[in-house]
A = this chain, B = another copy of it.
Amino acid sequence: MKSEIIAVGSEMLTPYRQDTNSLYLTEKFNELGVTVRFKTIVGDRRGDLVSAVRTALGRADIVAIMGGLGPTEDDLTREAVAEALSLTLRRDAAQVAALHARAAAWRITMPSNNLKQAEVLEGATILTNPNGSAPGQWIDTTFSGYRKLLMLIPGPPNECCPLFDAECLPRLRAVVPARSIAKRTLRAAMIPESQADKLLAPIYTEYKDIETTILAHAGDIQLTLLCAKANFDAAQQRVDELAERMEEALDDWLYSSDGETLEQIVLYYLGLRQATLAVAESCTGGMIAQRLTSVSGSSRSFLGGAVVYSNGLKSIFAGVPPELIDQKGAVSSEVAEALAKGIRQTTGATIGLGVTGVAGPNGGSESKPVGLVYIAVSDAQKTEVLERNFRGDRDRVRQWATQQALDLIRKRLM
């Protein structure tokens, strides 16, 4: 079955805000075997909304409309769907009571415009919204002779996603032909995208029954394999077979066979080896620490470290001799090495990491251009330094350096 997602709200037609709910809904639809054929973003204008709803009903079996269910004059989704389907709106007594009860619980008088949210489309089922005042609505109807399922869902993500899971998914499952979906996500670090595609395309194109999606971002490649079959084991077997062949091709670029992030994998290996890590970051300025600490429980293996942005702190926190910085420059193989060794010593960590580079856009020179980064990793056995030239703006150079640093630790731990 084909679906269309309509995101309603003028703010999503500005340069500043995007619809993100639809990514969540897309994932859930796909897991049911429903493809998303169109997404439409429309503002809070009644005529535009009616046009968007009619267009969607003409080309999709399932239409999810998010947003425009609030109490203000700008919230016009109910009215627009009524017009598009020639349905009446009635004020639902139970919903009015619920709105009053909600206001009482908040110890406020309910503003009269809130009553709009009690308006229900003829024949619609009310979908309870535990996280907001506007309920959702479910409509099972016909349009131009075809059966159509419509969902009206509140726009705020903390209302949209739980309501969709609790109220829409079970109803969709009862209608959509049952299929079992097997899914695997592989991830690889620091392999150029073109090389990944050259390696993998000959393999995955053999599997016409598996949908393979490749997503690349600053040294990270994510491969999602999705297979839908009547029988779950058959789907899983196909996905596992393709995954195994891809894993082999990716060799040690592959870091995750089940979707974990690189920071999760690094922390997993640290735990396994009963090792601890400390970092001394110059050009990445806290990005590596921030990625590691984004994982809950990271404190078991990640001690922390220093953001040694100034030369003084390189000496204070990581014991880098000021003369070394004077002689070799803050961006040098020698200083990276001293940072890794020093931070390990200062903190007592098993492994020390040092990163120094020219993030740009200023500060580059002929011998040390913007994008030049040195990354060193040090443990009791040895210290190793990588020299890399990353391209792109400041943010991208820092992201690449962070990814490369995490990957270097991963390889040391394997």
Contact = CB atoms under 8 A, between A and B. Distances in A.
A249 interface: no
A104 B101 CA distance: 74
A261 B214 CA distance: 33
Interface of A is mostly: mixed
Interface in A335-362: 346-348, 359-362
A123 to B, nearest CB: 27
Interface in A263-303: 278-279, 281-290, 292-294, 296-299, 302-303
A48 interface: yes
A30 interface: yes
A16 B215 contact: yes
Question: Could you say how many copies of this chain the assembly holds?
Answer: 2
Contacts of A215: 11, 16-17
A206 B282 CA distance: 49
A84 to B, nearest CB: 14
A293 B309 contact: yes
A15 B38 contact: no
A26 interface: yes
Nearest to A41: B39
Contacts of A26: 13-15
Given A40-B41, A281-B289, A285-B304, 7 more contacts: A38-B42, A282-B304, A289-B309, A296-B360, A304-B307, A306-B306, A312-B348
